[in-house]
Amino acid sequence: MKQTLKHLRRVGAITAAAAAAGLLLLSGPAPAQQPGKIKIGLMLPYTGTFAALGTSITNAFKLAIEENGGKLGGREIEYFTVDDESDPAKAPENANKLIKRDQVDVLVGTVHSGVALAMAKVARDTNTLLVIPNAGADEITGPLCAANVFRTSFSNSQMGIAMGKVMAEQKKKTAVTLTWKYAAGDESVGGFKETFEAGGGKVIKELSLPFPQVEFQSYLTEIAALKPDVVYVFFAGGGAVKFVKDYAAAGLNKTIPLVGAGFLTDGTLEAQGDTAQGLLTTLHYGDGLDNPKNKAFRAAFAKAYKVEPDVYAVQGYDAAQLLIVGMNAVKGDTTKRAELVKAMEAAKLDSPRGPLALNKGHNPIHNIYLRKVEGKENKVVGIAVKDLTDPPRGCKL
């Protein structure tokens, strides 16, 4: 009995204390919904052929955050970083390190389509918010689209679609394609073939080599023998530097026009030097785009990092801009996921590439420019496709 009384008294005391605390809560300032920092997981390549791309994305992402007072939705940021090595086999483990071990609120990455496909799966399975600042795997914003997965870059087929159209308009009749054999290259070439052949051209040979190999000699020999009207390629980063140099060293730049998805000459011109002069490429960005945002962005990036920005920097910057819109809408409260997603879906970004909106699958709708290398610049010489948007391709959102 005594025990029971004591017990009851204790319960009473606890209840009274809880009531007092409740009063305090009611009368005091409203507590922050989610105190502490927002954790951002950057999963990008910092080694290998795409290392410079990962660094460029990271730098520009951080620049946009700095310009926003170092915060997202009013909360400070804590970064967690993983080098994904552009290795799809390591991707699930790397993504889980950030999600399960570091408990990040948002995952940002990556460059390589194969790695991104694995990241998107982990993001879907764990319902983690994912923003992709490069990898173009068509499926991610097509049949595999998800409410929690966004992309601020492009889809792989977009650049090929644009260049195939331009080459058909230039009355080229035959083409050979060459790429690394994986989603990015296959889809880029697929887009090229679709519009080039619809416009009356013929892809007479599709060549490929495993990623990230750079032994191009036998392919160059074959191209020289096939003598197509044009060669369309997808290469990027270190591999793009070597390919353009090798193409010129083989003398092919004098006889068979080389064109490509704009990654061939973006962030690479310093290293390619004279060998890249005159190359035509298609991309959703060009260095000299004449809009105020691009000028301000280029000046701020060059000041902060002492190098000129490239398309990867633009995409990283826009990934942060998209998150700023979403997090502002929920005042940094990441538990308000539906509201956050809605705000991101409706975002109208002032991108260095021009106005940027997303389609139903959360993929950019943007102009694809025709560019020509002049000196150290990818000079915009025209719009290959205006406001290109992907077909829904089975996205059910």
Cβ proximity to ligand PHB: between 56 and 253 the closer is: 56
Cβ proximity to ligand PHB: between 50 and 219 the closer is: 50
Question: In this structure, how many other beta carbons lie within 10 angstroms of the beta carbon of residue 374?
Answer: 16
**Shortest gap between Cβ of 150 and ligand PHB (angstroms)?**
15
**Shortest gap between Cβ of 246 and ligand PHB (angstroms)?**
18
Cβ proximity to ligand PHB: between 247 and 263 the closer is: 263
Cβ proximity to ligand PHB: between 113 and 148 the closer is: 113
Residue nearest to ligand PHB (CB): 236
**Shortest gap between Cβ of 56 and ligand PHB (angstroms)?**
10
SS (H, E, C) the chain: CHHHHHHHHHHHHHHHHHHHHHHHHHHCCCCCCCCCCEEEEEEECCCCCCHHHHHHHHHHHHHHHHHCCCEECCEEEEEEEEECCCCHHHHHHHHHHHHHHCCCCEEECCCCHHHHHHHHHHHHHHCCEEEECCCCCHHHHCCCCCCCEEECCCCHHHHHHHHHHHHHHCCCCEEEEEEECCHHHHHHHHHHHHHHHHCCCEEEEEEEECCCCCCCHHHHHHHHHHCCCEEEEECCHHHHHHHHHHHHHCCHHHCCCEEEEHHHCCCCHHHHHHHHCCCEEEECCCCCCCCHHHHHHHHHHHHHHCCCCCHHHHHHHHHHHHHHHHHHHCCCCCCCHHHHHHHHHHCCEEECCEEEEECCCCCEEEEEEEEEEECCEEEEEEEEEEEECCCCCCCCC
**Shortest gap between Cβ of 372 and ligand PHB (angstroms)?**
19
**Shortest gap between Cβ of 91 and ligand PHB (angstroms)?**
12
DSSP helix/strand/coil, 93: helix
**Shortest gap between Cβ of 136 and ligand PHB (angstroms)?**
4
**Shortest gap between Cβ of 394 and ligand PHB (angstroms)?**
19
- The residue type of 4 is T
**Shortest gap between Cβ of 184 and ligand PHB (angstroms)?**
3
DSSP letter for 41, please: E
Cβ proximity to ligand PHB: between 73 and 136 the closer is: 136
Cβ proximity to ligand PHB: between 133 and 201 the closer is: 133
**Shortest gap between Cβ of 381 and ligand PHB (angstroms)?**
21
Rule CB under 6 A: which residues touch ligand PHB? Answer: 111-113, 134-137, 156, 184, 236, 263
Cβ proximity to ligand PHB: between 188 and 334 the closer is: 188
Sign of CA dihedral 359, 103, 79, 137: negative
DSSP helix/strand/coil, 153: coil
User: With contact defined as beta carbons under 8 Å apart, do 263 and 209 qualify?
Assistant: no
Cβ proximity to ligand PHB: between 44 and 184 the closer is: 184
Cβ proximity to ligand PHB: between 139 and 345 the closer is: 139
Cβ proximity to ligand PHB: between 182 and 297 the closer is: 182
Taking the C-alpha atoms of residue 42 and residue 241, their distance in angstroms, rounded to an integer, is 25
Burial class (CB in 10 A: 0-12, 13-18, 19+), 66: middle
**Shortest gap between Cβ of 281 and ligand PHB (angstroms)?**
11
